[in-house]
Structures are given as C-alpha cells and as structure tokens.
Amino acid sequence: MTSKADRTVFLAIIGLSLALFACADAGRDDAASATPEGRDQPAAVESAATRQPSALEVPMPRPAAQALAEQVIANGRLTEDERNTIEVVRKTKNSVVFITNLQYLRDFFFTSDELVPRGSGSGFVWDDRGHIVTNFHVIDEGVKYMVSLPDQRQVEATLVGRDETKDIAVLKLGEPVPGLAPVAIGTSRDLQVGQKVIAIGNPFGFDHTVTKGIVSALGRTMPGAGGVSIREMIQTDASINPGNSGGPLLDSAGELIGMNTVIVSPSGASSGVGFAVPVDTVKKVVPQIIQFGKVTRPDIGGVSFVRDEAARRAKVEGAVVLEVTRSSRPYGLGLRGLYRDSYGRLRIRDVITAIDQMKIKSYDDLFAALDGYKIGDSVTLTVERDGESRPIKIQLVGND
C-alpha cells in the first residue's frame, strides 16, 4: 500500500515539473518575439559563430574577472576602518626594515673572533639616500649592522651617528637599493588622545607585523641615557613587543607620528604599555645627525653637573654644579662647582634653580629647558649659594 502511494506522489511531482518548464519556455518565446512597441516582428536568428559582441559585452579574461569579483566581495565585507588600515600598510610596505646588530664574540683563549647577533629591531626609511632611522638601543655596542629589506634581501649598513639622550640613531645602507620608499613624515604637535595609530615592525623576528590601537596618553616622560629623560612621549595600546623598537608609529593618513621605543610591563612580560618618541623630536635630531654625525644642542658651556640621584640623596633641589672649566664664560661670571672643606668633605657651592623664571628642580629639568632654546640665545640663570640667590646672564653655546 505504501509503495503504491509513493509511486503516485513521485509521478505527480514529475508532471508538475514538466508543466513548469513548459510555461517558462513559452514566456521566453513571447519575450523574444515582442518589440518595445509591443508589435510582433519576425524573430532574427543569429548564429553564435557570426555574432560580434559589443564593446560592453566583450568578456573579461577569467583571472581578471575573478580578481575583480573577489575585490568587490572583499570591499563589501570590510569596514571603513579596516580599509583604511590596509591602505596605510600598503603605502608603507617598502618603508620598514629589520635591523640586526652584530658584535664580536671571542673564544675562551682569545684566539679567534666571531660575529654574532647581539640584538635586533626595526627601522624605517628616512630619505631616498639610504638613511635608516632606528633606536639607539637597537644598535648600541654593535660593530656591524645588517638591514633586511622588504624583499628579504640583506644589505650591510654603517652607523652615521646617534643621540643617546633621545634614543635615536641613523644608519646608511652600503649600496643603493631601488624600490625603497621614505616614510611620509607627519607631526606629533596636534595628536589627540583616542585617535587611531598603527605600529609596524618586526616583533620576535616576524617581519612586517602590523598592530593597531589608539593614542592612550600624551606628554609621558621615560628614562633615557645619560641621566636625562625622554619627554613628551606618546603612550599607545598598540602592541609593541621586542623587535618593534625603532619601527614607525603611524596615523590614519599613513604619516609618521612617532618611533616605537620602549615597553613598560609591571609583570616583567615581553609586552605591555608601549611608548614612542614623538616625530617632532625625531625631525629635530635626525637632520643634524645626517649632516654632522652628531647632535649639537644649546648649552651653558664648560659646566658639568652632579647626577640627580646624588643630588636627591643630599636633599638638594635644582641642578647642582659639579665642575666649571676655568677658561669658560660661566667661570668668569663666578659660577663654581663642588669643593672640599678643611675636613676633606665635598661641599656644594652653586645650584641652578631657574632659567628665565622657569623653575629648575633637577639637571633633568635644566637639560629639557635648554632644549627649547637655540645656540646664541641669551638666558638668565638663577643661581643659589648658601641660601642666597643671584642672577647670571649668559649666552648659550653649542655643546661639544
């Protein structure tokens, strides 16, 4: 009984399908025989072999058509923010490099030297003359530097100069490399907390890795070399890991706004809060290094200072003068350094507590304040000795 019913249903389905196909064919015949005016005309039958397609009907080569279709589908899936990130990465793909710092390793008997990697980091192309900008700590103590290019080729580079106090160094490729593109230089002056940033580098040796985040804070101060701080640093939540140091931090326009420099992680992990040297600092330092091989800053001239740690232990606030060169202008104006009393104990004479009414609490403050002047500017120092203050007017000179 069941089998007979199944056959009946099956035959009914087939009959219904044939009827539907017939209706569809009839509809197509009617459409083919009708003109726009609705009058029937003899159907013109044209051989597929003789018919010439119009310009709009020329078939696209299959690979190109497939690529276009995939692009349309991809664009439909991507958000505006994703498309922006992809475009920034595309623009900078030939601007970021990987740097390996090599130093000599001597065997136990000092009979042979072998070059071994000491560290590595990232860098970015500064100009079309082969200059590469990176962090000072990436190249520190190296004797040879190898730069891995975007096409995975390695080129040896030489050190042009460095600025330890800002953690900036410049290398130059040893041979011309076509295809490299200098990164677009932006500004850090008008950055806003919350704006999008993109970090590109080579974390853990994985080349050209991209991370995205926001500007978390501005105006941060981080310890630098030589007992002074790097100020006005950019804090970001974009992942910056070992190997990212020296790589570019970019805005949504693909312009350089900072150089990825340091990670702070309370747990001691390899990742954490990232900080970048602002591009306005980089723009101030790099051209001097390229031109002179070093950075020349405004300076009092002939004066050295006690380290801030020692001054704090002595509970002294200000920039404590350690020594003054006898032939210098400050010495002629009466500025003096430490001296020993009759018991042989070191005593403090002069402490700089202000520069042009700007309060100075440490040598770090004085160094940062001088960075805002130009060589040749005249400034008034407030100098304190034995509880009494006096002004000293002096013209700033270039540091050696």
Residues with a known catalytic role: 137, 167, 245
Q: Which residue has the tokens 């030489």?
A: 158
Maximum Cα–Cα distance for the chain, whole Å?
127
CA distances to 2, 159, 200, 400 from 294, in Å = 97, 11, 27, 10
What is the separation, in whole angstroms, between the first and last Cα of the chain? Answer: 109
Enter the tokens of residue 190. 């008008």
Spell out a b/e string for 33-63, using b for 16 or more CB atoms within 10 Å of the CB, else e. eeeeeeeeeeeeeeeeeeeeeeeeeeeeeee
> Which of 88, 96, 90, 101 minimizes the C-alpha distance to 201?
96
> Which of 214, 189, 190, 217 minimizes the C-alpha distance to 280?
189
Spell out a b/e string for 292-306, using b for 16 or more CB atoms within 10 Å of the CB, else e. eeebebbbbbbbebb
